[in-house]
Amino acid sequence: MKLNKKSKDNYITYAIVMVAYLIFQILSATGNLSSHMTGLLVPMTYYAVIAVALNLCVGILGELSIGHCGFMCIGAFSSAFFSKLTENVLAWPIRFFLAFVIGIAFAALFGFLIGIPVLRLKGDYLAIVTLAFGEIIKNVINAFYIGVDGNGVHFSMKNSMELNMEPDGNLIINGAMGITGTPHNSNFTIGIIVLLLSLFVVQNLINSRDGRAIMAVRDNYIAAEATGINVTRYKMMAFVLSAAIAGAAGVLFSHNITTLTASSQYFGYNASIMILVYVVLGGIGNIRGSVIAACVLYLLPELLRGFSTYRMLIYSIVLIVMMIVNWSPRVIEKREKLAAKIGFGSRKKIAR
Amino acid sequence: MALLEVNNLCISFGGLRAVDDFNITIEKGELYGLIGPNGAGKTTVFNLLTGVYKPNEGIIRLDGKDITRKSTTEINHEGIARTFQNIRLFKDMSVIDNVKVGLSERFKYSMIEGILHIGNYKKVEKEMDEEAMKLLSVFDLDKERDTLAANLPYGKQRKLEIARAMATNPKLLLLDEPAAGMNPNETGELMDTIALVRKEFGMTILLIEHDMKLVSGICEKLTVLNFGRVLCQGETKTVLSDPEVIKAYLGE
């Protein structure tokens, strides 16, 4: 079967991810991976997943969201809550699968609810409001106390004493202390599977009727309306899907750490900006680019720990180099010539 | 029955009556011109017809159906497609994808089928490709199918905009200054394109234009707007020799 250029492009992306997976697996099997590195593998996958999600929102839909960690937070907490609740009831594969369903569903639901006011805005205003919602989600979760005992679920927003639970009650969400002891079900293989699935969903979407409509809205919404595209519907579709994928990243996240707290370090403004950096440096609208950028930029500061003093200096130089390689018109021209020589054809000339 | 019937259309922006008591009747298959000096309200009429603005008064009927207060998207589904004075293409998408956006209302499959590439996806996409290529070859754009719309030369961008509008299978096509910024050669080519659209698709067209060579060359009927009011209406020849029109627009 002759592949057209777009599906060929998609397969290259899947191949890159799988090759990277194999390399890490071989390194790990032969004992060449330090325990520190092994610990970085799962975070690398969920940051790649959320970078894909954010690129759907920023690059394909064209709306700058800087609150995506909020959706990740919702996915993380809803799924961790579920897993804690059913820890001794369900076998882990089923439970973890359902945790994904729940995390994704909740993130999508909140994507929809937040999308209703947010998608009425444009540009900078939209960015500011998503930022605010991201912070609100984090802070509200910090005030949640939820426990379960024989009488059912107890809920409070004051403190754990207010729950009035039986002595044998199980405190699940303990305010700012978060959720402790979520089962560690995430591993590198599952992370890669989730990444491949989200790539599959996003890349296929782009090459479908709905994806084209979404990109039409991005490029010119006035023309899109006049061409019979229901702008609100497609904006919402892309935003909800993006939130849902971010939720999946959150599920991986929460099942990879012992104590899940809605802290600024993981879900705050800085974390959202960091993911935006992955997307921008990987190339806005370039899904493969965001995966690569997320992996490289996540691992780099960790790998540079040996250089201690010069760590952030090297990191920033890498950021600048990536920016030039990906965005400078001259470099793009050179890259295209090189690609044409090798025989891949020019990437810029075909639509992304 | 006329294809487009507009009665007593009015819109004010603050104290300004941008369009006042506008009437027009366009029969099926006609090529109708809307002319007038700058600021006369021609584009405002287009925006009223396509639902970008909602009129204060008046009724718009397409094929006998009242479409007055519908949204832009709904009006497109009813059968009015348009182009813009300042070209509005989906510029980061390929030429064929621009046309396929226009086709997406007629060639459908569900979102799930689209995401998983299952079910009707392959079949419908193939039909869309064929239909899009048919349209592109009419407009002589088939060789540029994978070029980004933004990288097309100006004249071809204009053509692509018309092709995209045609992809929505309209009953009435509105062209807003299609020859703006074109040299005489390109204008000539555009006139051929418009003639071709009429021949191939039997399309009814309403166009705004300042290029009098184009207007007198292809329009069958004209309406002249001045300060938001209809100054004169009728057969092209009669209108262009009307002393009022000459005074207000053409120059003595």
Q: Render pLDDT for A181-219 as a digit per residue (tens, 0 to 9).
A: 888 989 999 999 999 999 999 999 999 999 999 999 999
Would you say residue A242 has pLDDT above 90?
A: yes
- The DSSP symbol for B250 reads I
Q: Is B41 part of any domain?
A: yes
B144 vs A346, residue with greater confidence? B144
For residues B88-99, average pLDDT: 94
CB contact under 8 Å between A349 and B77, yes or no, is no
Give the residue extent of every domain in chain A: 5-309
Tokens representing B48 are 């009223």
B224 forms beta bridges with B35, B232
Confidence category of residue A343, pLDDT binned at 50, 70, 90: low
For residues B223-228, average pLDDT: 91
- The DSSP symbol for B244 reads H
CB contact under 8 Å between A231 and B105, yes or no, is no
Q: What is the assigned CATH class of domain A5-309?
A: mainly alpha
Q: Which residue of A has its CA nearest to B85?
A: A223
For residues B231-251, average pLDDT: 87
For residues A67-72, average pLDDT: 93
Would you say residue A2 has pLDDT above 60?
A: no
Cα distance between residue A65 and residue A119, in whole Å = 10
Cα distance between residue B101 and residue B104, in whole Å = 5
Would you say residue A78 has pLDDT above 80?
A: yes
Tokens representing A159 are 């403190």
Confidence category of residue B60, pLDDT binned at 50, 70, 90: very high
Q: Which residue of B has its CA nearest to A212?
A: B101
Same domain? B186 vs B237 = yes
- Which residues in chain A have their CB less than 8 angstroms from residue B108's CB? 209
CB contact under 8 Å between B90 and A228, yes or no, is no
Name which of B71, B101, B116 is nearest A212 (Cβ-Cβ).
B101
Same domain? B98 vs B215 = no
Q: What is the pLDDT of residue B55?
A: 93
Name which of B90, B109, B111 is nearest A215 (Cβ-Cβ).
B90
Would you say residue B127 has pLDDT above 90?
A: yes
Confidence category of residue A351, pLDDT binned at 50, 70, 90: very low
Report the percent of chain B where pLDDT is more than 70.
Answer: 100
3-state secondary structure of B238: helix
Q: How far is CA A32 from CA A19, A29, A277, in A?
A: 17, 8, 30
A16-41 pLDDT, tens digit each: 999 999 999 999 989 888 888 888 99
B132-176 pLDDT, tens digit each: 999 999 999 999 989 999 999 988 999 999 999 999 999 999 999
Q: Are strands A259-260 and A179-180 parallel, antiparallel or unpaired?
A: antiparallel
Confidence category of residue A72, pLDDT binned at 50, 70, 90: very high
Would you say residue B205 has pLDDT above 90?
A: yes
- Which residues in chain B have their CB less than 8 angstroms from residue A207's CB? 117
Same domain? B221 vs B122 = no
Same domain? B150 vs B197 = no
Q: What is the pLDDT of residue A215?
A: 95
CA distance B239 to chain A (A): 31
CB contact under 8 Å between B88 and A220, yes or no, is yes
Would you say residue A350 has pLDDT above 80?
A: no
Lowest mean pLDDT among A338-342, B39-43, B170-174: A338-342
What is the ipTM for the molecules in this complex? Answer: 0.91
Q: Is B153 part of any domain?
A: yes
Three-state SS across chain A? CCCCHHHHHHHHHHHHHHHHHHHHHHHHHCCCCCHHHHHHHHHHHHHHHHHHHHHHHHHHCCCCCCCHHHHHHHHHHHHHHHHHHCCCCCCHHHHHHHHHHHHHHHHHHHHHHHHHHHCCCCHHHHHHHHHHHHHHHHHHHHCCEEEEECCEEEEECCCHHHHCCCCCCEEEEEHHHCEECCCCCCCHHHHHHHHHHHHHHHHHHHCCHHHHHHHHHHHCHHHHHHCCCCHHHHHHHHHHHHHHHHHHHHHHHHCCCCEECCCHHHHCHHHHHHHHHHHHHHCCCCHHHHHHHHHHHHHHHHHHHHHHHHHHHHHHHHHHHHHHHHHCHHHHHHHHHHHHHHCCCCCCCCCC
Q: Is B84 part of any domain?
A: no
Q: Which residue of B has its CA nearest to A208?
A: B114
Q: What is the pLDDT of residue B81?
A: 95
The phi-psi region of residue A200 (left if phi > 0; otherwise alpha if psi is between -120 and 50; otherwise beta) is alpha
How many domains does one find in chain B?
2
Same domain? B37 vs B62 = yes
Lowest mean pLDDT among A1-5, A243-247, A328-332, B61-65: A1-5
Name which of A219, A229, A349 is nearest B146 (Cβ-Cβ).
A349
Would you say residue B99 has pLDDT above 90?
A: yes
Q: Which residue of B has its CA nearest to A223?
A: B88
Same domain? B104 vs B75 = no
CA distance A244 to chain B (A): 14
Cα distance between residue A202 and residue A333, in whole Å = 27
Q: State the CATH number of the domain containing residue B63.
A: 3.40.50.300
Same domain? B119 vs B147 = yes
Lowest mean pLDDT among A167-171, A254-258, A345-349, B239-243: A345-349
Q: Is B88 near chain A, with CB under 8 Å?
A: yes
Would you say residue A121 has pLDDT above 60?
A: yes
For residues B225-229, average pLDDT: 90
Q: Give the burial class of B223: count Cβ atoms within 10 A of its Cβ; 0-12 exposed, 13-18 middle, 19 or more buried.
A: buried
Cβ partners under 8 Å of residue A288, min gap 6: A9, A12, A13, A16, A282
CA distance A213 to chain B (A): 6
Report the percent of chain A where pLDDT is more than 70.
Answer: 96
Domain that holds residue B146: 91-169
Same domain? B180 vs B132 = no
Confidence category of residue B88, pLDDT binned at 50, 70, 90: very high
Same domain? B52 vs B114 = no
Q: What is the pLDDT of residue A344?
A: 57
Q: Which of B134, B169, B204 is the last residue of a domain?
A: B169
